[in-house]
Structure 1
Amino acid sequence: MKICWVTPFALRSSIGRVSAAVTEQLAARGHQVEILRCEDQDDPAEPLHPTALPVHHWRRYDLSGLRTAFDVVVVNIGDNYPFHAGVFAVLDAAPCLGIFHDFYIYNLFSGWLHHNGLDYRRHDAEIVATYGPQAEPHAVAVRSGQMLDMGEIAQHLPMTEWLAGRCEAALAHAQFYAPKLEAVVPGPVAVTPLCCPDRATPPGPPKAKTPLTLTTVGVMNPNKRVADVIRAIGGSDALKACAYRLVGPISDDERAALEGVAAEVGFANLVIDGAVDDETLDRRLDEADIMVALRKPVLEGASGSACEGMLSGRPTVVARAGFYGELPDDLVFKIDGEIVIEELREVLERLVADETLRRRTGQAARAWALETLNAARYAEAVDTLAQAQVTSRPLLAVGVRLGHELRGMGLADTDPATARIGATLQTLFAPIEP
């Protein structure tokens, strides 16, 4: 197949890192693959992920040729407008297979409105078109500032369906949000675990040392619940003896807030690295003893930081919610999704006290992650879904035509005849058994 892979490809994009590994594997499977960058701007000073494949930027590419030049157009969708601005034009240009890295894309939606100069009327209209008239009060509440909690917005207006309905097929990274895709995507929908390539310099086995180091990696925003971890540590003499290291971008305000929490609970061993390069991250993962990868609310389809924790061979603490809740129970340490500090403290104390438990669980988690989260396995899943998408097109075309005719005759979607017609079409267009 000829595949156009639409993705942010800047070196600082984690989706770009996944894309570089997966497209290499798709090419190795015999497909002709080209990468179409979807960042808003094409900054020549921006370093990109290394690849041997052709790379284009959507603003300098004739999108009108996508439909005829490629068998499949794969669009990676995340909740960051500057990284994903080009996906809207691509979705308009060709039938697409959407990979939904986040189940909550309200920020992408908001960025689209802002950058196109659209006002509150378009905001409300898009939400009502996606969720029906009953969603209008939520639309008004969120854009007027009455609804600020991201968890509440995710519950009522994740906007996943807003773009999923424009895709011909879709891929999710966890079961918990697959129904949102299945409800609006006309073609096949699949679920496969996120690809998280092993690091070029993977961490070695944990070293016997004191004090132990608890580590959180990724962008340090409030929903990573770092403040809760610090409060859990502050209530335990055993945990206060450990170091807690934060590795990833952090704002000055968030740094000050977390340092204030540490001072409040009397914890002196908080280490904030901020943004680091790959070499430093490799070293910090090697120095870690316990990984903490919490989220509340859970907004992403899967978590690169949790996957990194498992690949590092360290015990990883997660919330029992969303993607995290679907991880194997015996390979991570789950706490309630509400992040109860007392429960978190008990889990951390158990891990600090039991070296055998840390090593055994970490080794098993790494073995599972290497087998499950690799690029070859992910490319196979994309390949299978893309083949299903291509073979489903005749059925979808006939279904759309019949649907228009039946709607014109006044047949309701809930009429039993609709289900019978759908079942008949499935039989007529079923794959021929070899």
Structure 2
Amino acid sequence: MGVSAVHDGNVGNNPDWWERRAEQSADEEGVAPLSIYHIGNNPLHLPVHKQALREPGMVVLHDMGLVDLAKHLSYQSDDPDLWKWQMREQYGEDVYALANRSENSAACHNEMAAKYPLFQPFVEKALGVIVHSRYARDALFRHLPTGIPVKQLNLPAPAPPAIASRDYLSHPLRFVFCGHLGPNRRLIEFFKAWGRLDSPGKISLELFGNIRNNKQLIQYAEHFGVADYLHFRGYVEESELEKALHCAHFAINLRWPTMGEASASQLRYWSAALPTLVTDVGWYGELPDEVVCKISADSEIDDIHALLEDALAFPEKYQRVGQCGWEYLRSQHSAETYARELASFAQELCSRRLAYRALDQE
């Protein structure tokens, strides 16, 4: 069994091969074809979901909280309350009222995202589901129809390069943030904790990626007294980002509420042997304590402040955290192991489907 084509949903229409797929026979006699769908909380994944309904296959679920995807489906279906009905179908009547309140309250939205991740309508017709955390696996076991196989695999990554040497005694300590900036990435809270330091200038922060509301972010940074140490880089070439990661001392990867994801950014930080601040929830909470710097969601600002003070006083011990993360990536996130396990699971699903067809024909 091999991969014949890949489509990531970034174009408006399905590719020609997609529409012909159902008409094609298996490449090998006696082997049923199997589509593999990667679905996350992004409106661009809606065509992938629709095809998964037409031709059920294996779903690789990258996020547990798919409410943004569900809202986009509601908009396309001209049914603005569809996503709320989906929430109620998965969790019961009480969550419908919370979903209504979430449209006008950030606190209610966070509560909904943290306690009631919406995923059931996007995987209930799957032949099997792959997830990347115990958090996701256990949630699927509670809410999926009986009989849908679920397999947990560690998100794959390339083998990391040699660990870069860093001077953790130099100032400022360089922090980096990468990716899409949403309210669950907790930068405002980081600013507040950072601003409490006696000498906030001993730390600098570079931000890479999709930073749309930088004016508002600057206002918060000014309010907390850290704006002079903040640097917006935006999108950069891969080589420039790699250089920045290998020159930095720490990374910020806080997520609350979590969408249930296993973080590809975290794998990249480990590859650069960067000690990383993470929120102690979901997949991040499952990680060994020695490979990340865990921050409690209940005492977030105090925890961040204490860690920053400790990092300035004893920076060398955090260098060891980065090294442990690098070793964990190398031992637990092998791309070869992932591919082998995925292929084995796909073969299992094909065998199950052939068995069902044989029973139907009897």
By the TM > 0.5 criterion, same fold? yes
- The 3-state SS of whatever aligns with 2:294 is strand
Structure 2 distance, partners of 1:350, 1:100, is 37
Partner of residue 119, structure 2:
160
Partner of residue 326, structure 1:
286
Q: C-alpha offsets along residues 152-188 of structure 1, whole Å, 9 cap, x if unaligned?
A: 2224542211112121100111111212322315332
Q: Does 1:57 align with 2:15?
A: yes
Match of 1:279 among 198, 216, 239: 239
Aligned residue runs from structure 1 range 18-417, under 5 A: 31-41=2-12, 57=15, 61-65=19-23, 71-82=33-44, 84-120=45-81, 122-142=82-102, 145=104, 149-155=108-114, 157-182=116-141, 183-185=143-145, 186-197=147-158, 204-207=164-167, 209-251=170-212, 253=213, 255-267=214-226, 268-338=228-298, 340-393=300-353
Structure 1 distance, partners of 2:289, 2:43, is 34
CA shift, 1:358, in A, is 2.4
Cα contact 1:67–1:93 (8 A) shared by 2: no
Cα contact 1:95–1:168 (8 A) shared by 2: yes
Cα contact 2:136–2:260 (8 A) shared by 1: no
Structure 2 distance, partners of 1:146, 1:271, is 31
CA shift, 1:262, in A, is 2.0
- The 3-state SS of whatever aligns with 2:259 is coil
Cα contact 2:67–2:83 (8 A) shared by 1: no
- The 3-state SS of whatever aligns with 1:190 is strand
Partner of residue 430, structure 1:
none
- The 3-state SS of whatever aligns with 1:34 is coil
The answer for unaligned runs of 5 or more in structure 2 is none
- The 3-state SS of whatever aligns with 2:262 is coil
Cα 1:274/1:178, change in 2 over 3 Å: same
Structure 1 distance, partners of 2:298, 2:180, is 20
Structure 1 distance, partners of 2:337, 2:296, is 30
When the two structures are aligned, how many residues end up with a matched partner? 353
The answer for unaligned runs of 5 or more in structure 1 is 2-30, 43-55, 402-434
CA shift, 1:307, in A, is 2.0
Cα 1:135/1:395, change in 2 over 3 Å: farther
Structure 2 distance, partners of 1:67, 1:153, is 44
- The 3-state SS of whatever aligns with 1:236 is coil
Cα 1:58/1:234, change in 2 over 3 Å: farther
CA shift, 1:80, in A, is 0.7
Cα contact 1:225–1:294 (8 A) shared by 2: yes
Q: C-alpha offsets along residues 336-384 of structure 1, whole Å, 9 cap, x if unaligned?
A: 1235212111112222322331222212211211232232122122122
Q: C-alpha offsets along residues 87-108 of structure 1, whole Å, 9 cap, x if unaligned?
A: 2332123231111100100110
Structure 2 distance, partners of 1:397, 1:139, is 40
Cα 1:399/1:233, change in 2 over 3 Å: farther
Cα 1:397/1:344, change in 2 over 3 Å: farther
Structure 2 distance, partners of 1:327, 1:399, is 43
- The 3-state SS of whatever aligns with 1:330 is helix
- The 3-state SS of whatever aligns with 2:151 is strand
Q: C-alpha offsets along residues 173-226 of structure 1, whole Å, 9 cap, x if unaligned?
A: 111121232231533211112123357x87722245332201111112221111
CA shift, 1:239, in A, is 4.2
Structure 2 distance, partners of 1:350, 1:294, is 18
CA shift, 1:125, in A, is 4.1
CA shift, 1:293, in A, is 1.0
Cα contact 1:141–1:147 (8 A) shared by 2: no
More relative contact order, 1 or 2 (CA 8 Å, 6+ apart): 2
- Range that drifts further, 221-230 or 350-359: 350-359
- The 3-state SS of whatever aligns with 2:274 is coil
CA shift, 1:299, in A, is 1.0
Structure 2 distance, partners of 1:149, 1:87, is 29
Q: C-alpha offsets along residues 119-152 of structure 1, whole Å, 9 cap, x if unaligned?
A: 43x444444444444544345445x646774322
Cα contact 1:66–1:94 (8 A) shared by 2: no
Cα contact 1:97–1:171 (8 A) shared by 2: yes
Percent of pairs identical after alignment? 21
Cα 1:355/1:187, change in 2 over 3 Å: same
Cα 1:269/1:399, change in 2 over 3 Å: farther
